[in-house]
């Protein structure tokens, strides 16, 4: 295998020869790629020895992916204020503590729950050790089933689900590299995927060690069990190697049936992280040979700067967005570019000219990234802004801390808030919008991102009748009717007026929501509202008049009061 893929909780690592590339997605949905040197895996071309090498090399590589991923996450937090950096430092420390604590717990669990307890209970209550062969067979079967059930339970742990989603993206990449077919249609299951191989190796070795049950003293018995374990690794790798090469379908189907425990279908974000690594490695391999036929990235950026300087609303991030969207890569990968082709240059400059004339990027390309999610947008829906991610982030904290069951998103538009909450929590999400066209786009976005959201065409709470929720979220229209024509043309010309017009004072929707929300909130229910600049105080007073308590205002990245929170009074 030329490339080896290793998933982590926030990204993946790919090893080729003595190079490892690691890509992660941080809590804000931004991707970052890093590299490090690794020792070459020995014996990978020698049958039977390669299985043992693959296992131990994979374990050390997964550890390196984890620690490199943490380092990249920490780098992505540079430039924050001191309190944010302290908080981030504590978060990293807790991640390392959790990592080692999990390892210790796993070892203790394996020793007592899977190792000692089945033998003890089997001897004492079920099957005396009179028939040695029957006893060892039942014991081997019992331990294997316990391990299988443990893996099944782990599949529902949020942290493990992220690892398994990244593993699904790894499986796609492995199969795509092997088959060279359509990446989108490629299966997520790969027999020789490291996590999959390790899962089967543990099952197989636990069964065989228990079945053979060597009894020649503690020390020699331990050595014999290690030898059995290594033999299981060697044999299983060769079996999976043959399954991978086989043209028959049924061996793969059998392996894939159990592989479901370590693979979960990845989202667009997980797949883009894998692509970030593959593209980075491709650049290193190919660019040195074709550089002379391509346009240097420095020349492209200089030309873009000249064109975009005519639009005062453009900033440096626009360069990355345009290049990334034209080339179909992540923003983090743009930094890895050295040159582009003549056709790519022409396509990028066409998009640049449209941006220079005031057309927003979301309108140029028909989609926008929000909280790590790709959303289709058009003139029927408001393009979600970065500030709205703050609402989602704070809502998710409350949902997880208080284990909330039901959430309602009013004026959902593209579905950005509802989909982000649904994908990042276990809560049931309902979203409403008065626009039928907007709901059609939101439903399409939910389907593409595999998010389970119930959409209702309704003017705020009108069609929700007596339904109640634990949390209400909304980013309603808040622009004064008379101010719409004063907005930048990229807003007034491309965003729907229905999603902008908040009435004569911009507060019309907040009055309705504050008045009706208490009837639709469960006991201890809460509300998050995004507001326009200078509106936070008045909206907070509306919630206070509606008997909300614990009201607080949250500022955005530009220190503007942007989110108002309140909890329903008793």
Give the Cα separation of 319 and 322 in Å (integer).
Answer: 5
Which pLDDT belongs to residue 447? Answer: 93
End position of a domain, from candidates 301, 319, 351: 351
Give the Cα separation of 430 and 27 in Å (integer).
Answer: 24
Write out the two tokens for 86: 């302290």
Domain assignment present for 285 = yes
Which pLDDT belongs to residue 128? Answer: 62
* Sheet containing 4-7: order of strands: 4-7, 11-16, 19-25, 31-37
Domain count for the chain: 3
pLDDT in tens, 455-481: 999 999 999 988 999 999 999 988 877
> No. of H helices and E strands in the chain?
20, 15
Question: Are 90 and 234 within one domain?
Answer: yes
Domain assignment present for 133 = yes
Give the Cα separation of 167 and 12 in Å (integer).
Answer: 8
Question: Are 164 and 233 within one domain?
Answer: yes
Cβ atoms of 432 and 411 closer than 8 Å: yes
Give the Cα separation of 272 and 404 in Å (integer).
Answer: 30
- Output 335 or 290, whichever has higher pLDDT: 335
Give mean pLDDT, residues 300-320.
Answer: 81
Question: Are 100 and 184 within one domain?
Answer: yes
- Output 233 or 319, whichever has higher pLDDT: 233
Question: Are 237 and 287 within one domain?
Answer: no
pLDDT in tens, 78-111: 444 444 444 445 444 555 555 556 656 666 666 6
The Cβ of residue 212 has, within 10 Å, a number of other Cβ atoms equal to 13
Domain assignment present for 496 = yes
Confidence band of 9 (pLDDT split at 50, 70, 90):
confident
- Output 300 or 482, whichever has higher pLDDT: 300
Which pLDDT belongs to residue 439? Answer: 93
Give the Cα separation of 232 and 192 in Å (integer).
Answer: 15
End position of a domain, from candidates 351, 375, 400: 351
Question: Are 278 and 388 within one domain?
Answer: no
pLDDT in tens, 10-56: 889 888 888 888 888 765 556 677 778 888 888 888 999 999 999 99
Confidence band of 324 (pLDDT split at 50, 70, 90):
confident
Highest mean pLDDT among 170-179, 262-271, 517-526: 517-526
Domain assignment present for 359 = no
Check: pTM over 0.95? Answer yes or no: no
Segment among 52-61, 370-379, 407-416 with least mean pLDDT: 370-379
Which pLDDT belongs to residue 416? Answer: 94
Question: Are 373 and 347 within one domain?
Answer: no
Domain assignment present for 361 = no
Is residue 195 predicted with pLDDT exceeding 80?
A: yes
Q: Which of 38, 47, 474 has its CA nearest to residue 235?
A: 47
When the pLDDT of each residue in the chain is averaged and rounded to a whole number, the result is 82
Residue 106 lies in domain: 4-259
Domain assignment present for 49 = yes
Instruction: Tell me the percentage of the chain whose pLDDT exceeds 90.
Output: 32
Question: Are 212 and 85 within one domain?
Answer: yes
Question: Are 314 and 194 within one domain?
Answer: no
Domain assignment present for 328 = yes
Give the Cα separation of 313 and 190 in Å (integer).
Answer: 47
Question: Are 281 and 213 within one domain?
Answer: no
Question: Are 216 and 307 within one domain?
Answer: no
Domain assignment present for 344 = yes
Give the Cα separation of 543 and 472 in Å (integer).
Answer: 13
CATH (domain of 456): 3.40.50.150
End position of a domain, from candidates 213, 228, 259: 259
Question: Are 255 and 278 within one domain?
Answer: no
pLDDT in tens, 356-383: 888 888 788 888 888 888 888 877 778 8
The residues, ordered by sequence, that sit 6+ positions from 480 with a Cβ below 8 Å of its Cβ are: 502, 503, 504, 505, 506
Strands (E), 283-437: 295-296, 339-340, 367-370, 373-376, 406-410, 428-433
Question: Are 385 and 473 within one domain?
Answer: yes
Which pLDDT belongs to residue 309? Answer: 82
């Amino acid at each position: 295998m030329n490339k080896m893929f290793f998933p982590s909780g926030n990204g993946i690592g790919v090893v080729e020869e003595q190079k490892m590339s690691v890509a992660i997605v941080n809590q804000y949905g931004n991707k970052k790629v890093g590299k490090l040197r690794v020792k070459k895996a020995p014996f990978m071309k020698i049958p039977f020895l390669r299985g043992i090498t693959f296992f131990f090399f994979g374990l050390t590589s997964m550890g390196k992916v984890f620690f490199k991923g943490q380092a990249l996450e920490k780098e992505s937090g540079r430039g924050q204020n001191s309190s944010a950096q302290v908080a981030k430092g504590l978060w990293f420390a807790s991640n390392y503590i959790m990592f080692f604590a999990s390892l210790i717990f796993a070892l203790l669990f394996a020793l007592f729950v899977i190792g000692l307890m089945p033998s003890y209970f089997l001897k004492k209550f079920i099957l005396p050790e009179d028939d040695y062969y029957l006893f060892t067979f039942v014991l081997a079967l019992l331990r294997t089933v316990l391990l299988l059930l443990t893996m099944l339970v782990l599949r529902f742990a949020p942290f493990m689900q992220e690892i398994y989603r990244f593993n699904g993206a790894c499986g796609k990449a492995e199969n795509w590299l092997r088959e060279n077919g359509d990446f989108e249609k490629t299966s997520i299951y790969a027999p020789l995927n490291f996590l999959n191989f390790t899962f089967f190796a543990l099952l197989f070795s636990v069964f065989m060690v228990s079945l053979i049950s060597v009894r020649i003293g503690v020390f020699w018995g331990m050595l014999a069990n290690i030898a059995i374990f290594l033999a299981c690794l060697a044999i299983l790798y060769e079996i999976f190697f043959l399954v991978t090469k086989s043209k028959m379908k049924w061996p793969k189907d059998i392996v894939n049936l159990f592989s479901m425990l370590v693979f979960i279908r990845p989202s667009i974000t997980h797949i883009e992280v894998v692509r970030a690594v593959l593209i980075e490695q491709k650049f290193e391999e190919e660019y040195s040979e074709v550089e002379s036929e391509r346009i240097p990235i420095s020349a492209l950026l200089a030309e873009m700067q000249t064109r975009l300087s005519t639009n005062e609303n453009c900033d440096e991030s626009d360069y990355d967005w345009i290049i990334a969207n034209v080339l179909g890569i992540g923003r983090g990968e743009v930094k890895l570019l050295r040159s582009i082709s003549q056709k790519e240059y022409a396509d990028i400059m066409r998009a640049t000219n449209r941006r220079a004339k005031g057309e927003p990027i979301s309108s140029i390309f028909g989609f926008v990234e929000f909280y790590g999610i790709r959303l289709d947008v058009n003139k029927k829906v408001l393009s979600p802004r970065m500030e709205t991610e703050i609402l989602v982030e704070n809502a998710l904290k409350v949902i997880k801390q208080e284990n909330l069951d039901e959430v309602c998103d009013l004026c959902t538009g593209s579905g950005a808030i509802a989909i982000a909450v649904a994908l990042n929590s276990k809560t049931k999400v309902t979203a409403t919008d008065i626009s039928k066209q907007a709901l059609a786009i939101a439903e399409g976005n939910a389907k593409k991102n595999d998010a389970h959201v119930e959409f209702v065409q309704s003017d705020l709470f009108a069609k929700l009748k007596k339904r109640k929720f634990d949390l209400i979220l909304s980013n309603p229209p808040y622009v004064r009717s008379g101010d719409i024509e004063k907005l930048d043309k990229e807003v007034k010309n491309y965003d729907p007026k229905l999603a902008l017009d908040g009435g004569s004072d911009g507060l019309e929707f907040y009055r309705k929501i504050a008045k009706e929300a208490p009837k639709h909130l469960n006991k201890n229910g809460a509300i998050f509202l995004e507001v326009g600049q200078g509106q936070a105080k008045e909206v907070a007073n509306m919630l206070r008049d509606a008997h909300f308590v614990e009201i607080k205002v949250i500022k955005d990245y530009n220190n503007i009061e942007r989110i108002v929170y309140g909890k329903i009074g008793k």
